[in-house]
Amino acid sequence: MKKYNFIYLAVFVMLLASCAVRKPSGHHVGVLVGKQWQLVELQGEAVPAKVNGKMPFLKLDEEKGRYSASGGCNGIGGEYTLQKNNGITFSRGMSTMMACADMRVENGLRTLFEEADTYTVDENTLILSKGKNGAALAKFTLVSDQSDKLAGTWELDYIMEADDFNTLYSSRKPTIIFDMAEKKVNGNSSCNNFSGNVKIDGHAISFGPLMSTKMACPGNGEQVFLKNIERVTSFDVQDSVLTMMMDDIVVMRWNKK
């Protein structure tokens, strides 16, 4: 009986060990995930602060196990897995398909996610490499919390699933106002006024419940707006442009008024 108990114990330990490989490990995990990292070096070459007018970045969502990134043009994303000994793997998911003037950094990022298998974090610097002792494939610096940049009034400039934005909002574009002290928002959905709570954690954001006035509205601009604001899970602010995303897909884009 003792022999069988020893066998069962050995099998149980082996199963635990195999599961541990799939779990995040290392004391850097807490400062790695849930942050936004700005790409500053790729394949040994410096990356401009802005490419096509946008900041190249990487973000890892701990809860969903997904990453989102941009090389200054399209949103790139998919799933990632953290492994023991600072291992990391990326799998490609959906991305937008815009053509931009400068695609070099974006193309380099796509190659990076295919090759990188190791990460290191040193204070505010994240390095992705191939192999524990391999040369750095990319370097990122930590982006500070942007929630303070949300304060004020924003006017909608783009929304997902709108074939003709200007026709959809020909009379009035939706607006949103952030009150960061009270953690509340209010605005206009192109017809009715709305207000409610906003929850922000780093670059993660969610709205609700939202209350609205009840005027009858022509067209379906308000319905499109309310449907898409519920999809938003993260945000990014660059100068006077606020981008709201669902995972790695751009849902809304706003201009500061």
Task: Map out the domains of the chain with their CATH numbers.
Answer: 24-142 (2.40.128.270), 147-256 (2.40.128.270)
How many other C-beta atoms lie within 10 A of the C-beta of residue 152?
A: 14
Structure confidence at residue 68 as a pLDDT band (50, 70, 90): very high
* Phi, psi of 109, deg, nearest 5: -65, -40
CA distances from 103 to 41, 93, 137, 252 (A): 15, 19, 18, 23
What pLDDT shows up at residue 28? Answer: 57
Site of tokens 């990292």: 37
Query: CA-to-CA distance for 130 and 119, rounded, in angstroms?
Result: 9
Average pLDDT of the chain to the nearest whole number: 86
Mean pLDDT of 6-33: 48
Structure confidence at residue 2 as a pLDDT band (50, 70, 90): very low
Query: CA-to-CA distance for 128 and 122, rounded, in angstroms?
Result: 12
Cβ proximity of 84 and 138 under 8 Å: no
3: pLDDT strictly greater than 50: no
What pLDDT shows up at residue 20? Answer: 36
What pLDDT shows up at residue 220? Answer: 92
Cβ proximity of 118 and 129 under 8 Å: yes
DSSP 8-state class, residue 191? S
Closest by Cα among 195, 236, 188 to 58: 236
CA distances from 172 to 120, 155, 156, 189 (A): 48, 10, 10, 9
Range scoring the smallest mean pLDDT among 29-38, 74-83, 149-158: 29-38
What is the sign of the dihedral through the CA atoms of 93, 200, 226 and 74? negative
Query: CA-to-CA distance for 31 and 19, rounded, in angstroms?
Result: 23
- Of 62-71, 95-104, 125-134, 191-200, highest mean pLDDT: 191-200
* Phi, psi of 113, deg, nearest 5: -70, -20
